[in-house]
């Protein structure tokens, strides 16, 4: 393929994946509201849209009640007043929502959604992705997630409000603190697969998911991802009694909606990264015979991850800020660093054949 054909294919795949994830963001909000309602013995959204099912001699049944709630929320945000504070820095104030949304979309570029597959005569190799075969995919993911800090900090600064500034400083400090543990947690999968290409990391999990090899790294990654997303129990952004809603307090309408969209799209993106690094990505039963099953498997894993995030929100109370920072710096970071060092040591010893010598010595002793 020529470079122009490669670029055109990436553009088309990127549009399809981005459209699917943006649609998924809308219905992730509905999933959260319905699932939280079930966990808390409530009804949840059930008015805006449904599929009527007539019944004989009884009331009409409503299938998928509330299915149009995301559309209703979007219409409401479009028509809400979208004012700008009089003394705000207009350029920074308008730039911040864009910087919040862009990382959530850019992460999708390196995620492998299926193995080598042929779709309508087009061959996707070595795997189906917007930009397949990137040998620094994990580094790209870490670099892009760090951009979100700028959106948070600039939103507080550009609003020219003391509550927004305090919220931006606190949220950015939280994100930076947990990015260190997040970075150390992705190193064990890189070392085990001997590659930073996310497709090769998935291929290396053909026999055994890294969740079972590195459960501690998977736990650290998930906790750090929740803190990066500012989800419960790390949702200090929403500590209304302290910050009046934090860095986005001066935003309204679709600019507020952009921050809202960024949160849920990053939930999907980080769930996809977690699935790729620790849960086998698109791998599953019969995926080698039917490559299209890869799309089904990775989507199911993303949905299960989203449900876990929602379950955590319904179950755990919010940390205090001092508890949050102590947990990140004094607990999570040292454990992540120790796990990285131990994993590297074990891999090096295995490559040098030390364990084989030990096993042969032990077997020789007992066989005697």
Residue 74 included in any domain? no
Q: How much of the chain is in helix, strand and coil states, percent to nearest 5?
A: 70, 5, 30
Residue 131 included in any domain? yes
What CA–CA distances, in Å, run from 166 to 91, 146, 171, 238, 248?
20, 20, 9, 13, 11
- Looking at the chain, the whole-number percentage of residues with pLDDT higher than 90 is 33
Average pLDDT over residues 210-239: 88
**What are the pLDDT digits (tens) for 70-91?**
888 888 888 887 788 888 888 9
Number of domains in the chain: 1
d(CA 276, CA 118): 21
Q: Which of 164-168, 282-286, 348-352 has maximum average pLDDT? A: 282-286
Full residue range of the structural domain in which residue 94 is found: 82-336
Does residue 197 contact residue 137 with C-beta atoms inside 8 Å? yes
State the average pLDDT for the chain: 87
Residue 192 included in any domain? yes
**What are the pLDDT digits (tens) for 23-35?**
888 889 899 999 9
> How many residues comprise the chain?
368
Residue 66 has a CB neighbour count (10 Å cut-off) of 20
Residue 269 has a CB neighbour count (10 Å cut-off) of 25
Show Cβ contacts of residue 26 under 8 Å, excluding neighbours closer than 6 positions. 70, 71, 74
Residue 198 included in any domain? yes
**What are the pLDDT digits (tens) for 173-186?**
888 889 999 999 99
Give the predicted TM-score (pTM) of the model: 0.90
**What are the pLDDT digits (tens) for 282-331?**
999 999 899 999 999 999 999 999 999 999 988 988 888 888 889 999 99
Residue 352 included in any domain? no
Residue 347 included in any domain? no
Residue 19 included in any domain? no
């Amino acid at each position: 393929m020529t470079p122009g054909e490669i670029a055109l294919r990436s553009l088309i795949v990127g549009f399809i994946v981005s459209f699917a994830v943006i649609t998924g963001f809308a219905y992730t909000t509905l999933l959260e509201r319905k699932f939280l309602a079930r966990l808390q013995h409530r009804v949840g959204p059930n008015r805006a849209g449904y599929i009527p099912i007539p019944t004989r001699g009884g009331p009409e049944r409503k299938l998928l009640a509330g299915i149009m709630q995301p559309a209703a929320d979007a219409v409401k945000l479009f028509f809400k007043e979208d004012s700008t504070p009089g003394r705000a820095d207009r350029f920074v104030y308008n730039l911040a929502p864009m910087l919040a949304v862009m990382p959530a979309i850019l992460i999708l570029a390196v995620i492998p959604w299926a193995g080598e597959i042929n779709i309508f005569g087009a061959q996707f190799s070595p795997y189906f992705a917007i930009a397949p075969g990137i040998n620094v995919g994990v580094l790209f993911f870490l670099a892009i997630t760090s951009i979100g800090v700028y959106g948070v900090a600039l939103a507080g600064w550009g609003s020219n409000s003391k509550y927004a500034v305090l919220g931006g400083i606190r949220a950015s400090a939280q994100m930076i603190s947990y990015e260190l543990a997040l970075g150390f947690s992705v190193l064990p999968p890189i070392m085990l697969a001997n590659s930073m290409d996310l497709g090769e990391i998935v291929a290396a999990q053909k026999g055994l998911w890294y969740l079972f090899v590195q459960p501690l790294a998977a736990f650290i990654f998930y906790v750090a991802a929740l803190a990066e997303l500012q989800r419960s129990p790390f949702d200090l952004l929403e500590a209304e009694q302290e910050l009046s809603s934090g860095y986005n307090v001066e935003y309204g309408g679709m600019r507020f909606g952009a921050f809202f969209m960024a949160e849920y799209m990053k939930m999907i993106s980080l769930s996809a990264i977690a699935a790729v690094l620790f849960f086998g990505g698109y791998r599953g039963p019969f995926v080698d015979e039917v490559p299209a099953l890869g799309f089904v498997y990775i989507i199911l894993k993303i949905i299960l991850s989203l449900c876990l995030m929602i379950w955590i929100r319904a179950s755990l109370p919010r940390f205090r800020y001092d508890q949050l920072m102590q947990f990140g710096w004094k607990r999570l970071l040292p454990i992540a660093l120790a796990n990285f060092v131990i994993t590297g040591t074990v891999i090096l010893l295995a490559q040098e054949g030390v364990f084989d010598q030990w096993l042969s010595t032990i077997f020789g002793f007992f066989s005697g």
